[in-house]
Structure 1
Amino acid sequence: MEGKDKESTLQYLPVNLFGSVMGLSGLALAWRESHHMFGTYLFISDAIGCLAILVFIVLGITYLSKLVLFPKIVKAEFHNPIAGNFFGTITIAILLLSSVISAYSQAMQQVVWTIGVILTLLIACIIIRRLLNVKQDFKHAVPAWLIPGVGTLDVVVAGGTMPLTWAREVNLLCFGIGSILALVFFTLIFSRLMHHDAMPDKLTPSLIILIAPFEVGFLSYVNFTQRIDAFASILFYFGLFMFVVLFSKVFKRGLPFGASWWAVSFPMAALSNAAFLYADFVNNWPLKSIAGLILLLLTLVIATLFIRTFIYLTKGQLLKP
């Protein structure tokens, strides 16, 4: 009986839990930047990176089991106008893990990145095609819509300097796709938030995704062009501004905890990595202090999310309808 109960909870495993891999990978990369700027211990980045890989393997095996045992449920999740966008977190996680792996094996990095590129472009095509083929309810225009499009920008974040002969054009393709999609969807989502009812409480944490097009856009632009100019600065500062505006709307008492909270992790991680890159370019202590504070806040948030997720999982409160 106990075995059946455990098996039945598998059907409630949400795909957005892959956001935890994105957050952990981004945190590992941010601590790597901290090592270069502040001389913090490199093993912190290594340990978090290994944890990200482990979590991805566990989630990957578990979600594949869900696909085998409950294919109709996975299909329904994929076709859901909101939840379906979170399948992009799987491909983004693969791309970010390629950056984590880069410190240990460039050959493995290139293999993982290539897989991530193919899957990211495939997901983007499927999701955008579905949005155009089916009439959309405007209340479904939520920050999660940004994930498949921003995912193509992550191709450039992870592979902007990839030494493969075909990588430059693929990066340019993905940068073009991600930039325009981010602009279009950000406008739609911002309009929906201004003129329609507020999103349900369980989706409120996803508001932080609104900073992703700017901070991920900053990282991808800088990685591809290998320079920080006025346009890059505008992207960084507007993303930082949006984070300050949205912080009090998301991190407030009374919001229920669930897997959806992992949506805050990677946008904050992108902000942290962008802050380190920009502070290193400007080379002044106020910006370096901001980078350090954002990293500490990110670490606290992800540690809290990880602990609460583990507690909710062991208590059987995470995987339930």
Structure 2
Amino acid sequence: MSPPLFLKPLQHLGFAWFAMVMGLCGLSLAWHRASAFWGDAAVLVSAMWGVVAASALSALMLATALRLWWFPEMVRADLKHPVSHVFVAALPASWVLMASVGAVHWGFSTWADILWMLGSAGLLGVSGVVVLSWFRSDRSQDRFWLGMTPALFIPVVGNVLPALAGVGLGHPVWAAVQFGLAALLWPVAWGLIGWRILRLGMWPQRLLPLTFITVAPPSVLALSGLNLGLPQALVLGLWCLALLFFLGSAGVARGILKQAFGMPFWGMSFPLAAFAALSLALSLGDARAQHWALSGLFLVTVLIAWLLLATLVGVWQGRLLVPEPSVP
């Protein structure tokens, strides 16, 4: 039986769309950090963005279920694509982050605990599949190296996300294990990406926004490390690394601005929100640092609000749910 006509655009809704939920959750968590400066007003803004994230997650889960039912061949194609397959990790990552938003606002709850466990286990599973693929693939072929973009950090270093709420939800050991795995695989992923750049050059222009994903690993490692008791000096060192990657990523901003909006733009959202949250966490007691951190949060909020508006307009105009190029 053929799918209804109005559902046909869903065949092009890839797992990368869940990066939107990651960005919205990241912004909610960053605003909650701002409650140390702006009190209940920041908590209210955080809750508002959390509701937006939950709405986006619910809509995307329904759309993904419909896509899996009506267009299973498109889902299989995503899983085999050299670049798109790593975005599968954005689904469990969004669950973990949604649970984290719930935990910071309402503490322990059954739904947050279940969502956190499902997401954490999902991240671990996707990471295992991705790492195994490194050994099973023919590394002499360019197709393998096409997949070595900063998006690789989502499944590989995404294991650091469970530590954001794992301690509060009663899973400190589980969170610490995945934190350690992320810390181990982060330099490995960088080595693969660096070799790809030497072999094939930078990723295509339409994927340039993904460059900002490099900011996420040190930012989230530091935020999670605060929960796990990492030394302050190490956390500050990770912040400096995040700043370095941010400045390096800013070098591709001109290439990004030349493009029409597309879903890869959401690759900037969560990393910048995480960096803003880390900056806020480290600025306590320093008025000048607080000023810069709060200014950064405001700019990230404007960016994500624009991304959300551009997405809604793009869906309405039929410009986003369209076929992607067959090669990255």
Q: TM range, normalised to the smaller chain?
A: over 0.9
Residue 277 (structure 1) aligns with: 281
- Quick one: distance in 1 between partners of 2:127 and 2:26? 21
- Quick one: distance in 2 between partners of 1:284 and 1:186? 33
Which residue among 172, 177, 184 is the counterpart of 1:180? Answer: 184
The one-letter amino acid paired with 2:57 is: F
Residue 250 (structure 1) aligns with: 253
Residue 130 (structure 1) aligns with: 133
Shift of 1:16: 0.6
Decide whether the 8 Å contact of 1:154 with 1:216 is kept in 2.
Answer: yes
Q: Say whether 1:287 aligns with 2:289.
A: yes
Decide whether the 8 Å contact of 1:124 with 1:149 is kept in 2.
Answer: yes
What are the residue-to-residue correspondences of 1:291-302 with 2, within 5 Å? 291-302=293-304
Tell me the secondary structure at the aligned position of residue 312 of structure 1: helix
Residue 308 (structure 2) aligns with: 306
Shift of 1:79: 2.0
The one-letter amino acid paired with 1:24 is: L
Residue 84 (structure 1) aligns with: 85
Residue 33 (structure 2) aligns with: 33
Shift of 1:279: 1.1
- TM, length-normalised to structure 1: 0.92
Which residue among 104, 107, 126 is the counterpart of 2:106? Answer: 104
Decide whether the 8 Å contact of 1:144 with 1:206 is kept in 2.
Answer: yes
Shift of 1:150: 1.7
* Cα root mean square deviation, aligned: 1.7
- Quick one: distance in 2 between partners of 1:143 and 1:50? 28
Which residue among 266, 269, 284 is the counterpart of 2:270? Answer: 266
What are the residue-to-residue correspondences of 1:57-68 with 2, within 5 Å? 57-68=58-69
Once the two structures are superposed, what CA deviation does each residue of 1:225-270 show, in whole Å capped at 9, x if it has no partner? Answer: 2x54211111111101211221241354312321111111111111
How has the CA–CA distance of structure 1 residues 248 and 297 changed in structure 2, closer, same or farther, with 3 Å as cutoff?
Answer: farther
Shift of 1:4: 4.1
- Quick one: distance in 2 between partners of 1:293 and 1:277? 14
Tell me the secondary structure at the aligned position of residue 135 of structure 1: coil
The one-letter amino acid paired with 1:66 is: R
- Quick one: distance in 2 between partners of 1:57 and 1:304? 21
Residue 159 (structure 1) aligns with: 166
Shift of 1:144: 0.8
Gaps of 5+ in 1: none
